[in-house]
Amino acid sequence: MRADVTAVARRLEQAGLTLATAESCTGGLLGAALTSVPGASVWYRGGVVVYSDDLKIRLAGVKAATLRSEGAVSPAVARELAQGARKRCGADIGVGITGVAGPGGGSMDKPVGTVSLALATATEVHDWTVRFDGDRDSVRFTTVEFALARIREALAPCRGVAD
């Protein structure tokens, strides 16, 4: 994971872009991974950990109607988390993560290990919904690795940016 964080840091810094996060099931693990790199304050604006629905609304800007219609673990909520993180933290890129880490809380439609993640810029939002196997820690850490890979891919098209 350290190599992924370093690559993300280098790409963000070289591109002159900033990042912010809104995390639910990872509980701040992505923010912790990002800030493990010295000098992260240059490109990491900050983030929020929003486990409860009311804080998803108040702190991250998720619409109550979206939570009601789609549920907390959904691409729509991940997208609104990413957009909220970007806007509220004044960043170029926002990342939103929501999921069911387990061991409980899953359903037939959204079993344990289901994670929705989104990346938002000022002009577009991309989302992914995946299912990771394993225990709670495994799901959470695999989600962070997945997020780092998606950020790194999103930054690949930046001119003059390399690992």
The domain limits of the chain are: 2-153
For residue 2, the model assigns a pLDDT of 78
For residue 37, the model assigns a pLDDT of 94
Homologous superfamily of the 2-153 domain (CATH) = CinA-like (3.90.950.20)
Residue of 128, 36, 125 whose CA lies nearest to 84? 125
Are 100 and 25 in contact by the 8 Å Cβ rule? The answer is yes
For residue 158, the model assigns a pLDDT of 62
Distance CA 76, CA 36 (A): 29
Q: Which residues of the chain have pLDDT under 70?
A: 157-163
Distance CA 30, CA 47 (A): 9
- Residues comprising the chain, all counted: 163
Are 23 and 31 in contact by the 8 Å Cβ rule? The answer is yes
For residue 132, the model assigns a pLDDT of 98
H or E element, residue 21? strand 19-23
> Which residues on adjacent β-strands are paired with residue 125?
120
For residue 1, the model assigns a pLDDT of 74
Strand, helix or coil for residue 52: coil
For residue 157, the model assigns a pLDDT of 67
Query: CA angle, corner 98, sides to 93 and 102, nearest 5?
Result: 150
